Amino acid sequence: MKSIIVKDITKSFGSKRALDHVSLEIRGTFGLLGPNGAGKTTLMKLLATLDIPDSGIIRIDEDDLSWNEPSEVRERLGYLPQHFSIYRSLKVEEVMNHFAILKGIRGKKVRSEAINSILQSVNLSEQKTKKVKNLSGGMLRRLGIAQALLGNPQIIIVDEPTAGLDIEERVRFCRLLRKIGENRIIIISTHIVEDLESTCDHIAIMKEGKILQTGTRNKLAEMTKGLVFEMDVPFDSPIPIKEEDIISIKQLNNRYLVRFFSEASINNARTVDTCLEDTYLYITKRNLTHV
Amino acid sequence: MGKLLNFIYIIFLQFSRQPIFWLLLVGFLAYEYLALSDISSPGDVLTSTSFLVQAGILAFILFGIILVQLDHRHHLEDLYSTIERGMLFNLIGKLLFGLLLSLFFTIIFYVFYLIYYLVQGFAFNHIFISAIFYMLLYFCITFFISYFIGILIAIWIKGRLAFPLALIAWGLIGPINTSFLGIHLTTLARWLNLGEPNPSGVYNGLYGLSIDWFYWLKHFVWIVTLIVFLLIALYKTYSIIKRKTFSKLIAFSFILLLVICYGLSLDRQLYITAQDEEISRELVEFLYYQKEQPEAKSLDIHALSYEINLEINRLLKTTVNMELINNQGELNELTLSLYHDFKVKELLVNGKIVQIKRDKDLVTIPLTEKWGQDESIKLTITYEGTSSSLFYANNRAIYLPYYFNWLPSVDASPSFEVDSYGTLVRNNHQLKYPTEFVLNYEGREPLYTNIPEVKPGQFKGTSSTGLSLLSGELQERSVEDVQLVYPSDIKGNHYNEMKDSTIMLLNYVSNNLGIENLTYPKQVWKAPTLSTSDNSMEEMVWYTPETLIFSYSNSSWYIDSPAYFTYWLFPAISWKYEDIEVEDRDVFRAFDLMYCYLYNQIHNIKDEGNFLDWYKNVSSQGQKKEVLYALSDWLMENDAIEEKQLFVKDWYNLMKNNNSSWENVYKLLEKYKGV
């Protein structure tokens, strides 16, 4: 599988440094995870050729493709912005046709076949003649990914794809991303950890313009193995854990179930299986580049 | 191209599915229909549609803003930017859509306009061609510029602040922008105005619509300036174009702007009826002729022939070869008159260059050899000049009548003078003897003249009054071998009534005053020249046996009040035609009024005597006052018609013999009435 090499990228806006010597190897379905202001959107804009870095390079070695030549990159790029929408009185098929022409798909028949196939793959065939204003939020997102798929791009960039969707739509959309990412590079930026758990093979965790960690989903999840505990605390007792170590507090019948980080064993606490979210919180709270 | 069309199509779909779009279109047409049904002339209706243009400008600015803001709202700019040249196609597609939308509204307006007037009985003549250009300029291009401004406002200003800015832009660039800028900023208002340059004026039936090259260039300045701003946006905001390309395009745009501004500076003097200028050409002329004019000794010489090589485009440029004969004693110098704004470049006497002395309208030519009686002399004069509101000589309109000294005239009087009422009036420079004319002409076609065209661009013939040239927004038809030339925006009705009244008056005056050759001419022209001097009744009509020229601007040949027609026609066929020297215009006016009132009475033409108030209203004292009051009282008495007829006949003879002082008129009146 091909990979995008991001090497030593720096980007500043005035005195604020949005990306600070970022280096990454992006392959497969790749997730960018980080809190607001981490620099995800800036990095996504650079990857989508919407902006240029102050220094550093982005390229695909196998194809000898450099982001210094954005026109060549754009020919292989599909992009779904965070707030995708389009003129509301257009029909789904008109929107698809518009983007298909814009992406240089020639021939009415070829275009029609490509549109039908993509709409089918995103489960929008039945909505083909519907106007955009009559689509639900999830359908609109699927239309967004459908337009990104036009021209069969090798790289798809998806910014906050599930923001504002209900759970059912979110699950469906993540499944769709997983499906379309089989033969191409998909870069997903989000702050919702669950989305990446179900879709991404590789994940990078960012904070304050820096990459804190990269790795496979499982490897990242296992990073905090042995560091995550749970303990029961009665309602009328104080929680004996420092605020910054708490991951979550669940309210049960007559007690709290407290999940927390600890580097040593604690009485009445038991170690539990870790997940990606634990690692994300552990790393971002401590700005750790190594665990 | 396919990608651009795709964008245009998508925006069209979006637009056409908005009820507001159709509402605007219906409103636009409803307003147009109201204008059409209210105004009978296809020329007037266009100059009067400035409110429609003003409304259209606002609509198109808003269209531009809304389209760009829709992209902002849908975050489409980022998406298009990730597609190769997507954003560039988006912006150009939007602009092309605006252009097509402007064109669509223009075509709809034009078709509606055309059908309306054709159904009303107008023939498809040149005004309907000019109307296409007018609508392209003031509807299509103006709407497009407005839309372009809207797009740029929305690109540069995000959010709702764009809308108050749109209102400001709308106030500045519309044809009624003086309402927003106030009268103190009229120059700025005129430059910013993208609509009809003179929205409160009337249509000039000879000159036509304000579609001079000047106005096109002004619109092009706007477009190029807006393109510069767009390029800055493409470079700075969207990073679509590279620095090198940007620099080249900006440099090219500035060169283009310089070229256009140069063209503007050349054509600036060609403002049509002078209403565009802060101080009108007419007022300039008035002030010019209000000052003392040079006097020249009247010489008994006359022109045998004129050979004229005339080019009329932006300027009038001509070389005139004329042969003169001396009917008096020896002469050392010669004075001709030539309208002062025609600058003499070179003058040759019998092939030798001489240095002339120019004093306003007079050209004094020193003669190196004495010019003896009955000898002829050949002059070659090269001169050029610009059009004015008092005559026309450019590629849009030509009105160079025989009575105007656009050709060097042996009658050494100024072109105009200011009379006792403060009115600028023309001095008659018509010839007195048969003169050969050869005219080689290059300029607007068709050219109407009183001498026949012998081959394309060459006219040859003899005239005893002079050469008249006419061209402009005119149409032509023949009725019983009479060539009728009249503005394209009128139907030219009631010709027969005019002809009958004219013939009746010609016959009467011919018999009564003994004026020879008063025949109905083979050419009848209607050339409304719209200068203030045309408001005096002596200026409404000019007559020669070859050509009858009407300068009143109503929509038919005849006028509603036949009595008035007498007052307008009579001076033309009497003392003006006989070129009687006018010493005191009031004497001539008093004579005209009396003669015409009597004529109307004799011929049972209903005349309320409205003009007769003049006798007591005009500034007068002494003998003049006595005469005028007596005439007024005498005319109020409806008896003694025969005495009155004899009186005016004798009065005319006094005028003919240059003896028509108030004293002599008083004596005459004493003889007939006893003052």
- Inform me whether the pLDDT recorded for A273 exceeds 60: yes
- Among residues B529, B372, B523, B506, the alpha carbon closest in space to that of B450 is found at B523
- The answer to whether the CB atoms of A102 and B3 lie below 8 A apart is yes
* pLDDT band at B273; cut points 50, 70, 90: very low
Number of Cβ pairs closer than 8 Å across A and B? 66
Q: How many CB atoms lie within 10 A of CB B475?
A: 18
Q: What pLDDT is attached to residue A290?
A: 54
Q: Residue B436 in contact with residue B412, Cβ under 8 Å?
A: no
- Inform me whether the pLDDT recorded for A201 exceeds 80: yes
Domain spanning A3-220 has what CATH number? 3.40.50.300
Chain A residues touching B78 at Cβ < 8 A: 45, 48, 50, 79, 81
* pLDDT band at B270; cut points 50, 70, 90: low
Q: What pLDDT is attached to residue B272?
A: 43
Q: Read off the pLDDT of residues B196-216 as tens digits, 9 standing for 90 and up.
A: 888 877 888 888 888 888 899
- Mutate which of B79, B88, B236 to test chain A, going by most A C-beta atoms within 10 A? B79
Task: Give the residue with greater pLDDT, A90 vs B180.
Answer: A90
Q: What pLDDT is attached to residue A287?
A: 66
* pLDDT band at B371; cut points 50, 70, 90: very high
- The answer to whether the CB atoms of B6 and A98 lie below 8 A apart is yes
Give this complex's ipTM.
0.83
- A107 three-state secondary structure: coil
- Inform me whether the pLDDT recorded for A33 exceeds 90: no
Both tokens assigned to B80? 């298009």
Mean pLDDT, range B461-489, rounded to an integer: 93
- The answer to whether the CB atoms of A102 and B89 lie below 8 A apart is yes
Mean pLDDT, range B271-299, rounded to an integer: 72
Mean pLDDT, range B402-416, rounded to an integer: 92
Distances (CA, A) of B232 to B235, B360, B481: 5, 53, 64
Q: Residue A224 in contact with residue A278, Cβ under 8 Å?
A: yes
Q: Residue B211 in contact with residue B267, Cβ under 8 Å?
A: no
Q: Read off the pLDDT of residues A44-81 as tens digits, 9 standing for 90 and up.
A: 988 888 888 899 888 887 777 788 888 888 888 899 88
Both tokens assigned to B249? 């395009």
Alpha carbon A195 to chain centroid, angstroms:
7
- Inform me whether the pLDDT recorded for B675 exceeds 90: no
Instruction: State how far the Cα of B626 lies from the Cα of B619, in Å rounded to an integer.
Output: 12
- Among residues A90, A119, A148, the alpha carbon closest in space to that of B78 is found at A148
* pLDDT band at B274; cut points 50, 70, 90: very low
Chain B residues touching A81 at Cβ < 8 A: 75, 78-79
Q: What pLDDT is attached to residue B143?
A: 95
Please check whether residue B237 touches A, CB under 8 A: no
Both tokens assigned to B343? 């600058």
Both tokens assigned to A192? 């919702």
According to CATH, where is 3.40.50.300 located in chain A?
A: 3-220
Please check whether residue A163 touches B, CB under 8 A: no
* pLDDT band at B450; cut points 50, 70, 90: very high
Least confident of B22-31, B92-101, B178-187, B427-436: B178-187
Both tokens assigned to B500? 């009958």
Q: Residue B410 in contact with residue B299, Cβ under 8 Å?
A: yes
Q: What pLDDT is attached to residue B589?
A: 92
Of chain A, the end-to-end C-alpha distance in Å amounts to 28
- Among residues B153, B237, B143, B580, the alpha carbon closest in space to that of A51 is found at B237
Please check whether residue A130 touches B, CB under 8 A: no
- Among residues B379, B529, B553, B554, the alpha carbon closest in space to that of B468 is found at B529
Please check whether residue A85 touches B, CB under 8 A: yes
Option in A85, A86, A101 nearest B6 (CB): A101
Both tokens assigned to B279? 């101080």
- Inform me whether the pLDDT recorded for B277 exceeds 70: no
Please check whether residue B3 touches A, CB under 8 A: yes
* pLDDT band at A291; cut points 50, 70, 90: low
Q: What pLDDT is attached to residue B278?
A: 57
Q: Read off the pLDDT of residues A103-154 as tens digits, 9 standing for 90 and up.
A: 888 888 999 999 998 888 888 888 889 999 998 888 888 898 889 889 888 8
Please check whether residue A90 touches B, CB under 8 A: yes
Instruction: State how far the Cα of B271 lies from the Cα of B187, in Å rounded to an integer.
Output: 14
Locate the domains of chain B by residue range.
1-211, 292-470, 473-577, 580-674
- The answer to whether the CB atoms of B83 and A89 lie below 8 A apart is no
- The answer to whether the CB atoms of B82 and A48 lie below 8 A apart is yes
Chain B residues touching A87 at Cβ < 8 A: 10, 13-14, 70, 74
Instruction: State how far the Cα of B178 lies from the Cα of B192, in Å rounded to an integer.
Output: 10
Chain A residues touching B239 at Cβ < 8 A: 52
Q: Residue A9 in contact with residue A19, Cβ under 8 Å?
A: yes
Q: What residue of A is the nearest CA neighbor of B86? A: A102
Average pLDDT for chain B? 89
Option in A77, A85, A101 nearest B82 (CB): A77
Task: Give the residue with greater pLDDT, B501 vs A172.
Answer: B501
Chain A residues touching B82 at Cβ < 8 A: 48-50, 74, 77, 79, 157
Query: Is B292-470 a domain of CATH 3.30.360.10?
Result: no
Mean pLDDT, range B176-192, rounded to an integer: 78
Q: List phi, psi (to 5°) of B118.
A: -65, -40
Q: What pLDDT is attached to residue B319?
A: 97
Q: Read off the pLDDT of residues A244-259 as tens digits, 9 standing for 90 and up.
A: 888 888 888 888 888 9
Helices and strands, number each (H, E), in chain B:
21, 22
- Element (H or E) spanning B388, and its range? none
* pLDDT band at B568; cut points 50, 70, 90: very high
Option in B75, B84, B239 nearest A75 (CB): B84
The secondary structure of residue B345, as a DSSP letter, is E
**How long a stretch of residues is chain A?**
291
